[in-house]
Each structure stands twice: as structure tokens, then as C-alpha cells.
Amino acid sequence: MSDLLDPTDPVAVEAVLTRALQALGRPGTLDQLALLQGLTVRPARPGGLFRRAEPAVVAAGDRALQWPTDGPAVLDHVVGAVVLASDAVAPRDLPGILAALVVRAVTAAGTTDEACVALTSLRDALASSEPE
């Protein structure tokens, strides 16, 4: 494919992230999202003997998606390190929420060129790996 993906288009970003979640799963998708400047990505951390498990977190601005390995994802509205509201996210809505976070981060950071290259490469790699 030669056309570039617009990282400020939530529908296009959601389509790529939907395919990424199907093909790469959670860890692979988080690795790809971590490449985008302005988006904070922290992988999940398993619990230990005296430590609780930490969910994966994808954050942009005042929104943070808590994405546990077991259980539903939760979208937090955070202001000044205080969670003002939390909304459960259905699995079918996850790509759309991630896309909104990507668009928010890319727009705020002004890194549309870098995100364009990263998301276009991801889209093309996923398309070339699909069976014909």
C-alpha cells in the first residue's frame, strides 16, 4: 500500500488497532503503541509474593486506560493525579478507545509525521501477513 494513514483520523487508527489486536494480541499491540511519541504506555506487571499485579496502562493527557490481564479494561479521567471518573470498557470498544488515545496524544504532541510513519508501517505489515 502506498497511501499514508492519517494519525488524526480515529476511524483509520481504530481499523489498524483492531487488526493489530487480532494479529499481535495485547503485548504486541502495546509494543507498537509504545513507539508513538506523546502516548504513555506501561506494560502489565504480574504479581509476586508481596506485590500485587499491575495492569497495563495506556495514557494520553487526562485519560488513562487501565488494561488488566484478567477482567475488564477501565478508562479513567484523571486530573492532578486524582481519578475523577472511571468507566468500564467492553472488549468490542477497546480499539476505539485506544484510537481516541492515540489521536489525542499525537495531536497534543504535534508528532503527526512520526505517528503517520509508524501506523502506516503497522497497517502495511499486518496487511502483508494476512493469508491471501
Structurally, the chain folds into a number of domains equal to 1
Give residue 37's region: left, alpha or beta (phi > 0; psi -120 to 50): beta
- And the C-alpha cell for 111? 508528532
CA angle 60, 26, 124 (to 5 degrees): 85
Give the residue ranges of the chain where pLDDT is below 50: 1
- The whole-number pLDDT of residue 2 equals 52
- And the C-alpha cell for 11? 476511524
Domain that includes residue 70, residue range? 10-44+54-124
- Do the domain assignments include residue 129? no
- The whole-number pLDDT of residue 124 equals 92
pLDDT, tens digit (0-9, with 9 covering 90-100), for 39-72:
999 999 988 889 988 999 999 999 999 999 888 8
- Do the domain assignments include residue 99? yes
- Do the domain assignments include residue 2? no
Q: Which residues make Cβ contacts (< 8 Å) with residue 34, sequence separation at least 6?
A: 41
Q: Is the pTM of this model over 0.95?
A: no
- Do the domain assignments include residue 1? no
3-class SS at 62?
coil
